[in-house]
């Protein structure tokens, strides 16, 4: 994203957020009168079949994901009393496979003077000899002063770790001291250990309009001191929420523990930007000698940087899963529905499907892919191979439940000759997607799929590629367009878009996987290089009335080399 007069724009956005939120610093929209309106009956039409959600009410950030003694744990920000943000506790579910979940007691809720006004986001660290420790942000007063607190399991022998206690010793373990701004100081990361005998964590913050990752270190995991300088900071990015900092291997697809050291690694720093409600990450080097993180020159450090997801995906958090030697990322997908409808349907928010993450062999970006356990939900399968799609042609994928499906398609493009010239005036991929929608005829593309489509196409959510020529190379655009997703008019219907960093000149093939689940279309382009999650609310294309098509609206014919589609069974969730 390019902001020409950036600081002015930034200040305007910040001012707008402050006004909208009545002086409370940004984050979630606040509706005091709806915060404790409990639902009487839950609307089922758009509930998901296999994406994680509680039985009712509001959910936001994933918190403290971890694997311990045979169980995955997912905690999440939750309002037990209503379908908008407020009354925040850490709800808790446990799982053997990351897909089917059992709800247990809330792990953290306001109970101490230091978290009387809320238990906000944080992370878990498995500390050798101690066990899991949760570090989270407590809201200590009505002014929303943020302090960092910790909790440990009451009984390590309980496989579900149902009860958590907040020891009086060293709690809160950090309060903001000069120059840290205590009203913008939250979301501690998982800790990592270094050979100098210290644990370290990062806490998100901002100094004026500079996003900051303050670093703290400790020898005993109780007393923490702030390092001389932050791990990293960046001007004009505003408040850094939910930072995540972890190593990735240069050698293999396997994940690494947060403390992994050595010269065969690179580091990732991800921040969720409160001002835009998008995230970005950089790849870079963690200079342990200097205690600083330095992003690579190939990674843009700011608003226009790389994203895990170019759609509705925020406050993500990763963890290392030692049982499968992988790193897994969770992220929250908010509703795009109106507040009134959230309250009416009695629930709001889902978690995206957990994604395994590793470094792209090109070393310029990450790759993310749904955890393999998701495939266990695949039921009936359809196959359509070697089908040519001429300009304007579309074919229906029949025989599966299009409202709850998993689809993998591989397209091949005979020639790139007809690719249109990329217009440099487009500010970003999202704008290019809005200008060149799925119905706008092109040279190479648009081609892709029409998800959650009604029979006569009054409603559909297209996910598609379009290929352009630029000065030196081809530009591949991937779009997920919610503009025609619902006959309901008053919704947020964005045209999300991202570029795909793929060299098409070699084999001229590109793949697309889409996880379709009633009100979510989660799409993975080119094996997880570019991902877009859209939330949509069709009125006609629901349940058995939903259809799925493959289409080409470019003049160059496209071949659908392989298509596999599956009915997805519902997961057992909570």
CA distance 490 to 37: 22
Give me the least distance between CB of 315 and ligand DQQ, in Å please.
4
Shortest distance, position 441 Cβ to ligand DQQ, whole Å = 40
Nearer to ligand DQQ, 149 or 512 (CB): 149
Sign of CA dihedral 456, 458, 459, 460: positive
Look at residue 74 and give its three-state secondary structure: strand
Residue corresponding to tokens 């403390």: 259
Shortest separation between residue 186's beta carbon and ligand DQQ, angstroms: 5
For ligand DQQ, give the closer residue by CB, 278 or 303: 278
**Residue 318 structure tokens:** 């990763």
Residue whose CB is less far from ligand DQQ, 191 or 449: 191
Give contact residues for ligand DQQ (rule: CB under 6 A): 27, 60-61, 77, 88, 120-121, 137, 186-187, 241-242, 315
Beta bridge partners of 120: 137
Question: 233: closest CA among 247, 258, 214?
Answer: 214
Nearest approach in angstroms of CB 274 to ligand DQQ is: 7
Closest CA to 399 of 378, 375, 383, 377: 383
Can you tell me the distance from the alpha carbon of 253 to that of 355, in angstroms, rounded to the nearest whole number?
A: 13
Catalytic residue chosen out of the listed positions 61, 187, 321, 342: 61
Rounded to an integer, what distance in angstroms lies between the CA atom of residue 213 and that of residue 301?
13
Q: Which distant-in-sequence residues (6+ apart) come within 8 Å of 502 by Cβ?
A: 476, 510, 526, 529
Q: Where are the alpha helices (DSSP H) in 53-191?
A: none
Distances (CA, A) of 327 to 56, 131, 369: 29, 19, 11
The answer to whether 268 and 286 are in contact (CB under 8 A) is no
Indicate the residue among 349 and 538 with the shorter CB distance to ligand DQQ.
349
- Closer CB to ligand DQQ, 334 or 365, in the complex: 334
Minimum CB distance to ligand DQQ, residue 119 (Å): 9
Residue 478 CA to residue 432 CA, distance in Å, equals 10
Write down the least CB distance from residue 277 to ligand DQQ, Å: 8
Q: Output 77 or 534, the one with its CB closest to ligand DQQ.
A: 77
> In whole angstroms, what is the distance from residue 201 CA to residue 182 CA?
17
CB count, 10 Å around CB of 21? 14
Please say which residue, 241 or 459, places its beta carbon nearer to ligand DQQ: 241
Cα-Cα-Cα-Cα torsion 229, 231, 237, 242, nearest 10 degrees, comes to -130
* Burial class of 544 by CB neighbour count within 10 A (0 to 12, 13 to 18, 19+): exposed
Least Å distance between CB 314 and ligand DQQ?
6
| CB crowding 205-228: b at 16 or more within 10 Å, else e | bbeebbbbbbbbbbeebeebeeee
Give the span between the Cα atoms of 89 and 24, in whole angstroms. 19
Q: Annotated catalytic, 337?
A: no
Report the residue closest to ligand DQQ, judged by CB.
Answer: 120
* Best CA proximity match to 488, nearest among 451, 538, 542: 538
> 77 vs 365, which CB is nearer to ligand DQQ?
77
Find the shortest distance in angstroms from Cβ 26 to ligand DQQ.
9
As annotated, the active-site residues are: 61
């Amino acid at each position: 994203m390019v902001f020409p007069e950036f600081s002015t724009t930034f200040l305007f956005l910040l001012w707008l957020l402050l006004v909208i939120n009545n002086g409370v610093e940004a984050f979630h929209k606040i509706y005091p009168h709806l915060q404790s309106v409990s639902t009487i009956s839950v609307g089922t039409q758009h509930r998901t079949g296999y994406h994680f959600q509680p039985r009712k009410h509001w959910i936001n950030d994933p918190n403290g994901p971890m694997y311990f003694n045979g169980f995955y744990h997912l905690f999440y920000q939750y309002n037990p009393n209503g379908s908008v943000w407020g009354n925040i506790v850490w709800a808790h579910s446990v799982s053997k496979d990351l897909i089917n979940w059992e709800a247990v007691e809330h792990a953290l809720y306001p109970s101490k003077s230091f978290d009387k006004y809320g238990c906000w986001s944080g992370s878990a660290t498995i500390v050798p000899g101690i066990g899991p420790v949760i570090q989270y942000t407590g809201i200590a007063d009505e002014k929303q002063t943020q302090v960092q607190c910790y909790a440990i399991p009451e009984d390590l022998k309980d496989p579900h770790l149902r009860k958590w206690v907040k020891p009086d010793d060293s709690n809160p373990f950090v309060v903001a001291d000069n120059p840290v701004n205590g009203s913008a100081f939250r979301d501690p990361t998982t800790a990592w250990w270094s050979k100098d005998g210290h644990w370290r964590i990062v806490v998100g913050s901002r100094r004026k309009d500079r996003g900051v990752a303050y670093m703290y270190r400790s020898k005993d995991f109780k007393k923490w001191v702030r390092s001389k300088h932050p791990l990293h900071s960046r001007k004009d990015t505003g408040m850094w929420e939910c930072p995540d900092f972890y190593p990735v291997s240069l050698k293999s697809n396997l994940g690494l523990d947060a403390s992994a050291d050595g010269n065969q690694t690179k580091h990732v720093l991800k921040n969720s930007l409160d001002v835009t409600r998008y995230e970005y990450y950089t790849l870079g080097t963690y200079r342990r000698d200097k205690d600083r993180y330095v992003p690579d020159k190939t990674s843009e450090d700011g608003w226009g940087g790389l994203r895990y997801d170019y759609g509705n995906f925020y406050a993500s958090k990763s963890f290392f899963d030692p049982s499968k030697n992988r790193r897994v990322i969770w992220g929250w997908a908010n509703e795009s529905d109106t507040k009134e409808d959230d309250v009416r349907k009695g629930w709001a928010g889902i978690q995206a499907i957990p994604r395994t993450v590793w470094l792209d062999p090109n070393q310029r970006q990450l790759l993310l892919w749904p955890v393999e356990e998701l495939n266990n939900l695949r039921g009936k399968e359809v196959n359509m191979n070697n089908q040519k799609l001429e300009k304007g042609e579309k074919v229906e994928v029949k025989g599966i439940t299009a409202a709850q499906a998993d689809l993998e398609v591989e397209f091949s493009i005979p020639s790139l000759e007809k690719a249109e010239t990329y217009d440099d005036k487009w500010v970003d991929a999202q704008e290019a997607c809005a200008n060149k929608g799925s119905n706008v005829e092109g040279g190479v593309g648009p081609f892709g799929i029409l998800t959650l489509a009604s029979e006569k196409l009054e409603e559909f959510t297209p996910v598609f590629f379009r290929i352009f020529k630029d000065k030196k190379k081809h530009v591949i655009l991937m779009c997920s367009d919610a503009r025609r997703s619902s006959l309901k008019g008053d919704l947020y219907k964005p045209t999300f878009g991202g570029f795909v960093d793929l060299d098409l000149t070699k084999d001229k093939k590109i793949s697309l996987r889409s996880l379709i689940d009633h009100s979510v279309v989660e799409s993975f382009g080119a094996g997880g290089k570019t991902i877009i999650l859209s939330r949509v609310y069709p009125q006609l294309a629901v349940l058995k009335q939903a259809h799925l098509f493959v289409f080409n609206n470019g003049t160059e014919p496209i071949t659908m080399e392989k298509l596999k589609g599956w009915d997805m069974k519902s997961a057992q969730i909570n």
